[in-house]
Amino acid sequence: MARIVMKFGGTSVADLDRIRNVAARVKREVDAGNEVAVVVSAMAGVTNQLVAWCQNLSPLHDAREYDTVVATGEQVTSGLTAIALQEIGVEARSWQGWQIPLRTDAAHGKARIDSIAGEELIRRMGLGQVAVVAGFQGVAPDNRVATLGRGGSDTSAVALAAALKADRCDIYTDVDGVYTTDPRIVAKARKLGKIAYEEMLELASVGAKVLQTRSVELAMKERVRVQVLSSFEGGNLLGSDLPGTLVVDEDEIVEKEIVAGIAYSRDEAKVTVRRVPDRPGIAAAIFGPLAGAGVNVDMIVQNVSADGTTDMTFTLGRSDLPRARKTLDDNLASIGFAEIVTDMNVAKISVVGVGMRSHAGVANTMFRTLADKGINIQVISTSEIKVSVLIAADYTELAVRALHSAYGLDAA
């Protein structure tokens, strides 16, 4: 007997047939004698629609009301999944974040989990009841609904697995594991049997949507055994050969590649603050207020011009752009810029691998490959195990495919 958390993403609960399929999978685990908690996302596309409605009414909407709206998708699927389970004779009940309670911090819209009270769930699971938990949501210190940022159900699942001391956390999605890059845009992407926490963390943080970054961070910290697998095919009976990807410690991987994978993100925007005075403190004058407004800035470059002014260019998440613009405009007096230029037609392409620590030339291969394709690099940033570049969004697929080949990642 094992205690497991099974998380189903949006496409896995996209309609009633898919929800019936989820129920059948859960039943198999229950019949095998396991205690099961299920975490569900909203039906595919629903969260996007809810977000769009908020944005349409007001680009600078109240984040607490945004949470009230976007958390509803998971309320629907948790109830439906519980009904589907009951219908096939499996005892189940749904749990909203506030009912557990799953407590978060005050950062509405991208809240972090502070605690999960797991006792009642554990007690009921022990009596054979499946807990169907609405992912993505919790309750903030102001006693209002909070959501965990896009893709947050992954984090709900991993945090729940830690709180329930589960033996595994299975993340069911529409691909059968973690690949060397998004298999939707590179047909030759290879499935990885195992990936190191650190590589998965870095890949997720630069755009590989298959797991939310925070979920990987938590899994690494809490030692949760996470595996990514498809809800669309294959079996998952306990003891069978599970076909997904396991996220593991680096030393569990025998054959290490220099580059583990390539990720892209189209959720970027580029901002150039033009002709600011080139003086000490200018970076603090720009980025201080942005941080204060909760805007996460990613890549930064500064171009010094001859006349003593400088252009400061940086990237940020697209959804933060309205807030960033307003913050900069509000601080015009203390910064002293001529104009703000924004560009949404950009994408960030990143190459990730722990092997970079010990191998030189990874960045150079990237620059040369992109140059050969005539792709201009606008901004570069690096970390110990990652190189990222910002390019025009139109070249995203070309760049990812070319790099995938250049690093020898293509499937035979």
CB of 347 to Mg ion, least distance (A): 19
Helices 16-31 and 72-87 pack at an angle, to 10 degrees, of 60
* Three-state DSSP state, 103: strand
For 101, 111, 211, 254, 348, the CA distances from 64, given in Å and listed in that order, are: 18, 11, 25, 46, 30
Which range of residues in 203-211, 323-331, 392-400, 401-409 is near ligand ADP by CB under 6 A? Answer: 203-211
Q: Are 85 and 26 in contact (CB under 8 A)?
A: yes
62 HSE (CA, 13 A, CB side): 6
Considering the rule CB under 6 A, would residue 41 count as an interface residue with ligand ADP?
A: yes
- Shortest Å distance, C-beta 244 to ligand ADP: 11
Q: Which is nearer to ligand ADP, 118 or 151 (CB)?
A: 151
Among 175, 206, 347, 390, binds ligand ADP (CB under 6 A): 175
* Residue 151 interacts with ligand ADP (CB under 6 A): yes or no: yes
**Binding range to ligand ADP, per CB under 6 A, among 110-118, 135-143, 170-178, 343-351:** 170-178
Is the CB of residue 248 less than 8 Å from the CB of residue 284?
A: no
Contacting ligand ADP within 206-235 (CB under 6 A) = 208-210
Q: Could you tell which of ligand ASP, Mg ion, ligand ADP, none binds residue 184, using a CB distance below 5 to 8 A set by kind?
A: ligand ADP
Count CA within 13 A, CB hemisphere, residue 253: 22
Give the nearer residue to ligand ASP in terms of CB position, either 173 or 396: 173
Number of residues that bind ligand ASP (CB under 6 A): 13
Residue appearing with tokens 């898919």: 18
Please, what is the minimum distance in Å from the beta carbon of residue 174 to ligand ASP? 12
Q: For residue 74, which of 54, 57, 50, 91 has the smallest C-alpha distance?
A: 50
- 313 contacts which partner out of Mg ion, ligand ADP, ligand ASP, none, CB within 5 to 8 A by kind? none
The answer to whether residue 207 forms part of the interface with ligand ASP (CB under 6 A) is no
Q: How far is the CB of 74 from ligand ASP (least distance, A)?
A: 6
Q: How far apart are CA 403 and CA 206, in angstroms?
A: 16
Closest CA to 179 of 117, 83, 264: 264
Binding ligand ADP (rule: CB under 6 A), the pick from 178, 276, 391, 409 is: 178
158 or 273, CB closer to ligand ASP? 158
By CB under 6 A, tell whether 47 contacts ligand ASP. Answer: yes
Q: In angstroms, what CA-CA distances link 250 with 253, 254, 256, 262, 293?
A: 6, 9, 9, 18, 36
Burial of 360 from C-beta contacts in 10 A (0-12 / 13-18 / 19+):
exposed
**Residue 97 binds ligand ADP (CB under 6 A):** no
Query: Shortest distance, CB of residue 150 to ligand ASP, whole angstroms?
Result: 4
- Select the residue interacting with ligand ASP from 11, 21, 41, 129 (CB under 6 A): 41
Closest to ligand ASP by CB, 97 or 135: 135
CB-CB neighbours of 340 under 10 Å: 15
- Element (DSSP H or E) covering residue 394: none
Residues in the chain: 412
Kindly identify the residues of this chain, within the stretch 95-154, that bind ligand ASP according to CB under 6 A. Answer: 135-136, 150-154
Contact footprint for ligand ADP (CB under 6 A)? 9-12, 41, 151, 173-175, 178-179, 181-184, 208-210, 261
